[in-house]
Structure formats: C-alpha cells, structure tokens
Amino acid sequence: MTYTILIQRQAKKTLQNLSRPDRHRITEKIVALGIDPDDQMLDVKRLMGLPYYRLRVGNWEKVKPRGGAYK
C-alpha cells in the first residue's frame, strides 16, 4: 500500500530553492516515506506534543535546516 504525501506550498517553494543534490536527496526520502512509512532506514520520529512527524535527511528535517526547524 502506498500513501499520498501532501507538501505545503511553502515547503515546496523552499525545496525548489535548494541545491540540486540536496533537493534530490530529500525528494528520494519523501518518495520512500510514501512507499513505506515504517521503513527502519528512514529517520522518522513523532514531534513531542504535536500530531506531526519529522523526517531527517542529513542536516535537513522536512524542508527546514536543522537549526531553524525547532524555532
């Protein structure tokens, strides 16, 4: 079973502004998440106190740099 991944407009815009290698790396992980969200190779964790999850790809979480993701 595959899942549909919805990407907010702001996240999509940020993703498009990344360098090509970063954009491809993040996109591959997002696609893998849609195929199997329980894959142990993906670094996915639930955010404390929120109904959201984060997907870590190198120094990027979702489409925010790690330093700004928790502000």
Give pLDDT, residue 35: 92
How many residues in total does the chain contain?
Answer: 71
Give pLDDT, residue 64: 65
How distant, in Å, are the alpha carbons of 40, 51, 71 from that of 23?
22, 25, 22
Backbone angles phi, psi at 14, to 5 degrees: -65, -40
Q: Map out the domains of the chain as residue ranges.
A: 9-69
pLDDT per position as a tens digit, 7-64: 889 989 989 999 999 999 999 999 999 999 889 899 999 889 988 888 888 876 666 6
Whether 3 contacts 37, CB under 8 Å: yes
